[in-house]
Amino acid sequence: MPTLPDLTPLEERLGHAFRDRSFLLQALTHRSFLNENADHPYPHNERLEFLGDAVLELIVTEYLFKNYANDEGDLTNWRAALVNAITLAGIARNLQFEEYILMSKGESKDKNSKARLYILANAIEAIIGAIYLDGGTEASEKFITAHILSHLKKILEDESYVDAKSKFQETAQELLGVTPTYKVLEEHGPDHAKEFTIGIYLGKDLIAIGKGTSKQEAQVSAAEAGLIAKGWKTYPAKKEK
């Protein structure tokens, strides 16, 4: 079994010194690692991920409910933006704990794929579960406030919680009486790693283009660019309690 790294620097970045480090080591163990290391003393992190997901959702929901007077639709969108895989993976990278995650040799080499993004996001949730078991609600709330809720201000300012496709369509129909359409302009790469370039049109006019590893992802990217191009991105100021 590989020598385990010194976890003290990671604990310092997380802001939590574990009384029982077995929780942290389990949170850092990806399923693939056990396929190559049958003697590893800890199970994979999926049960902790399950727990951490519930703890994260509850604490974020309670914070939004107590601090904002907006309706449940707004609060749901904000929560989704805070806890989605892209946000959580970014937080994982900011905390620099990717090097601590125990993965198979194959997974370790695949650093920029969607699979790695989900491994990082799931590890954040597992870490939250581990902190909750080790330190209780207060400790997990401290971590979530410092490292996740701290992103809320930027999410609201950037309106990254907005469903770009729906927003563009609703605005185009309301202001212009036109329903936008999407067209694949280019696709390249092997089947397992395609990249699509898609244009968003109003009538015959190309408004913006977007790229993505799926048609849906490229459409969302195009819609986001279209909102900016048309000056339709601005939302009313949020109502804070």
CATH number at residue 148: 1.10.1520.10
pLDDT of residue 237: 36
Q: Is the pLDDT of residue 109 over 80?
A: no
* Angle of the 72-83 helix axis to the 85-94 helix axis, nearest 10: 40
Same domain, 143 and 184: no
> 142: domain range?
8-158
Find the range with the poorest average confidence among 83-92, 106-115, 150-159, 181-190: 106-115
Residue 240 lies in a domain: no
Residues 56, 126: contact at Cβ < 8 Å? no
Residue in this structure with the two tokens 């805070």, named with its chain if needed = 82
Whether the full predicted model's pTM is greater than 0.85, yes or no, is: no
In this predicted model, what pLDDT tens digit does every residue of 19-33 receive, in sequence order?
999 999 999 999 999
| Catalytically active residues, by annotation | 53, 125
**How many domains does the chain divide into?**
2
Residue 175 lies in a domain: yes
Query: What's the rounded mean pLDDT across residues 113-127?
Result: 91
Same domain, 144 and 57: yes
In this predicted model, what pLDDT tens digit does every residue of 49-62 receive, in sequence order?
999 999 999 999 99
Same domain, 130 and 193: no
Q: How far apart are CA 207 and CA 199, in angstroms?
A: 7
Same domain, 142 and 54: yes
Residue 46 lies in a domain: yes
Residue 239 lies in a domain: no
- Chain centroid to CA 32: 21
Residue where a domain terminates, one of 140, 158, 176: 158
Residue 3's pLDDT band (boundaries 50, 70, 90)? Answer: low
